[in-house]
Amino acid sequence: MHENVVVVGAAVIRDGAVLAARRTYPQSLAGKWELPGGKVEPGESDKSALVREMHEELGMAVEVGEQIGDDVALDVEKILRVYRVTLLAGEPLLTEHDEVRWLRADQLGEVDWLPGDVVVLPALAAALNAN
């Protein structure tokens, strides 16, 4: 059966910088940086999934905006979809990640991103530069 799981990622943009977070789990992805987020669950919209994930993973209240870049195939069943996100309240409170950085467009290359996230970096840089 063909299943298509959407993974939503948050481009939290504040003061011209985006929040990057370093994974700790699973071991194969530990140490890699990502735009935080996770799988959309059955019956959830992309936006409600991202609000839930940001609350669970980072203790942040967010508002979800437009998609940044195109959908990225992660594997045969998963796609990554990144949205612009505005922080309404809170500073990142690390629960699943072990480090976060706020990166400006010219700093996006400074961390070791997950391969799917790398594909979105040009569109993300454009969004940061337009801010």
Asked if residue 124 lies in contact with residue 82, where contact means CB atoms within 8 angstroms, the answer is yes
CB of 110 to ligand 9L3, least distance (A): 17
Asked if residue 54 lies in contact with residue 60, where contact means CB atoms within 8 angstroms, the answer is yes
Binding mask 96-115 for ligand 9L3 (x = CB under 6 A): ------------------x-
> Does 38 sit near Mg ion (CB under 5 A)?
yes
In the list ligand 9L3, Mg ion, none, the entry touching 80 (Cβ below 5 to 8 angstroms by class) is: ligand 9L3
CB of 79 to ligand 9L3, least distance (A): 9
3-state secondary structure 4-64: CEEEEEEEEEECCEEEEEEECCCCCCCCCEECCEEECCCCCCHHHHHHHHHHHHHCCEEEE
Residues that bind ligand 9L3 (CB under 6 A): 7, 9, 34-39, 74, 78, 80, 114, 116-117
